[in-house]
Chains A and B, each alone.
Chain A
Amino acid sequence: MEKAIILSPSLINQKSTLELIKGAMVYLGDEFCIHKQPSFADFTSARKLTGATPVLLSTLLTEPALKSYAVLLSECAKKAPGTEVVVNDIGLLHFIDKNYRGRFSITLGRLITYLFDPKNTRVLGSKSERGLEGKKMKLWESSLEATPTPYIKKFLKRYAVERVETDSERIFKKYADNMDVKISFYYPMRLMAMTRFCPFRGGISLECKAPCGSRLLTLRTRHLDYPLFSKGNAYFVKNRLVKHPRLDRTVRFPFVKSNNLKMYINEGSLRG
């Protein structure tokens, strides 16, 4: 089974990075922040560092971020064709399909698989073991939030998708039981929410030097019976590795536990 680690471009040139990677496949980029998307120079550095071609990991891209990503793809198409791209933005998927079909290996990231199946699943550590699935739902509600499998099959073929990714056991099983696509699983954190209101910057930043680094904040409230974690522009809960014969890649991110973030209170108004 392959092991992959997500590396923000700013980590590439740090001394301890090789130790951090420990021979894992490098996912270069970020799923939740436009400011942690790699340039071609980052791509080259990562390749030089590890001796292997990194996987490009993308997020939801604003127009300027998409423009920068297009430059990266243009270079990679010429100098590193076949590079795997984890696509989390439906616009990026459309862009690659129209301009570079067959030049990249396409993986649907966990945001797009959630776009098809956004129903929440249980939270590990919560006393409510079955999460939302345990709630008695009205008949019409219970069948919502799940894109039909035949459509997804067609979609994967239409966009030449070779791999899908998720952090949800339920979504994993849906693909494993019904489709022959490769499947990756993210752990030990499962996504709960993402935002552009960055807690480390105090708002939405149009420019950023990523002061968040690899910090992972543990958040507790008496209102929730499970801890929440904040990293970069996303919130997570604990996740458990799925055990399944179809699992052929795990993806994790490096983190440093941190408890000393001084919050920006109600200054969430950066634009610049």
Chain B
Amino acid sequence: MRITIGIKSLDEADYFLHQGADEIYFGPAVPSHRASFSKEKEILDSIRLAKKLQKKTLLALNEIYSREQYGFLLAHARRLTGNGLDGLVVRDVALLEYFNSEKFRPNFVSSIMSSCFNSQAMKFYMDLGVGRFTLHSQIMPEDAVKMVSAAETIMFVSCLFLEPNIVPFCFFTYPGGPGASKLKVRPCKAGFKCGRHDFRMLESNLYFQAGLLYDFHKLGVQWLKIPRQLNTRKLITEFKITRFLNLLLEKGLDRESFVKAVTELMTRADLNKYGSSYLIKPDVDIPARHA
């Protein structure tokens, strides 16, 4: 599978593109958004670098935007595609329709936030110009046969990203947010009491996650996705894990050995030591290009 990774700086673009990422994606240049570039020039430099290395770039407009922002987004996206950007990740149907009405039709990629759970939902988005689809992390391989055969598809690396709840229908606040001022982790990770019993929102285990990765690869999913995050060191580790697991898949390891390898690797890597993906740990940790 090919690897697409979310980045937030030119340094990260340089590092991941040289370390084997096939595609980088990034948010629009919006001042103050900590997971995005702050200047358009940096994005243009990243696109140029990717072009030079014959890699791909995507702009992620992964929000629902208000009408006042459409003009800025269109002009921004047009300038970037004019300079070699390969496509846009979009979840907002109104924005997609606006782009179509303005005759702006680059390669559109659906986001996990598009709530696309079946081939008919894919057709809905295809009518708006979407050609590549991000499979929701709570879709099982058994459910996705028709979807994978219908178009180019992306999956999240299950052992790195498999949320307990279905986005975009999870409305819990972040730790420290309103009503959750004492919360140190996201509510989906918190311990609850149900009467005298302990209760946690159910998650999957590593065996399950490894099996998903293996089965989706066999099914023919083309892309592995590593989401953007503020915690750069963790992002780098996740990238290294993804690259390694992808190599194992490409080598044709049998399912049982692959599942064992994933569980051993993830246990050894212990991603908890890096802290949350939402911790602001920017680029300082980026190793030298060929480290």
Contact = CB atoms under 8 A, between A and B. Distances in A.
Give the interface centre of B114, B121, B145, B198 by most chain A CB atoms within 10 Å.
Answer: B121
A268 B188 CA distance: 14
Interface in A142-165: 143-148, 150-152, 155
A111 B64 contact: no
B138 A144 contact: no
Given A117-B64, A145-B64, A151 B97 contact: yes
A191 interface: yes
A148 B67 contact: yes
Nearest to B165: A193
Given A91-B122, A94-B123, A62 B178 contact: no
Give the interface centre of A144, A223, A263 by most chain B CB atoms within 10 Å.
Answer: A223
Contacts of A220: 192-193
B199 A217 contact: yes
A89 B168 contact: no
Give the interface centre of B123, B140, B169, B200 by most chain A CB atoms within 10 Å.
Answer: B169
A90 B168 CA distance: 13
B117 A132 contact: no
Contact of B94 (A147, A198, A221): A147
B65 A144 contact: yes
A165 to B, nearest CB: 14
B258 to A, nearest CB: 16
B65 A271 contact: no
A143 B118 contact: no
Nearest to B113: A118
Interface in A196-229: 196-199, 202-204, 206, 217-226, 228
Nearest to A95: B120
Given A91-B123, A144-B65, A148-B67, A62 B171 contact: no
Nearest to A97: B124
A35 B211 CA distance: 23
A62 B139 contact: yes
B274 interface: no
Contacts of B115: 60, 89-90, 111, 115
Interface in B158-211: 164-166, 168-173, 177-184, 187-188, 190-205, 207-208, 211
A51 interface: no
Interface in B100-149: 114-124, 127, 138-140, 142-147
Nearest to A168: B171
A219 B165 contact: no
A223 B63 contact: no
B190 A130 contact: no
Contacts of B124: 90-91, 93-94
Nearest to B120: A91
A262 to B, nearest CB: 7
Interface string A105-123: 0000001001111101011
For chain B, what secondary structure do more than half of its interface residues adopt (helix, strand, loop), or is it mixed? loop
B267 interface: no
Contact of A89 (B121, B164, B201): B121
For chain A, what secondary structure do more than half of its interface residues adopt (helix, strand, loop), or is it mixed? loop
A162 B69 CA distance: 29
Contacts, number: 235
Contact of A144 (B66, B118, B197): B66
Interface stretch (A14-22, A37-45, A133-141, A181-189): A133-141
Interface in A166-194: 191-194
Nearest to B68: A143
A267 B205 contact: yes
B204 A197 contact: yes
A128 to B, nearest CB: 4
A138 B32 contact: yes
B92 interface: yes
Contacts of A193: 165-166, 169-172, 188, 201
Contact of A130 (B168, B178, B196): B178
Interface string B29-54: 01111000000000000000000000
A265 B200 contact: yes
B68 A261 contact: no
Nearest to B125: A90
A105 B262 CA distance: 49
Give the interface centre of A114, A143, A263 by most chain B CB atoms within 10 Å.
Answer: A263
Contacts of A126: 178-179
- Closest 4 CB pairs between A and B? A259-B195, A91-B121, A91-B120, A269-B208
Given A132-B177, A147-B94, 19 more contacts: A62-B117, A62-B118, A63-B119, A92-B120, A94-B121, A117-B64, A118-B168, A131-B179, A135-B178, A148-B94, A150-B67, A191-B169, A204-B138, A220-B193, A223-B180, A263-B194, A265-B200, A267-B205, A268-B202
9 contacts: A95-B120, A118-B168, A118-B169, A135-B178, A195-B165, A195-B166, A196-B138, A204-B140, A269-B205
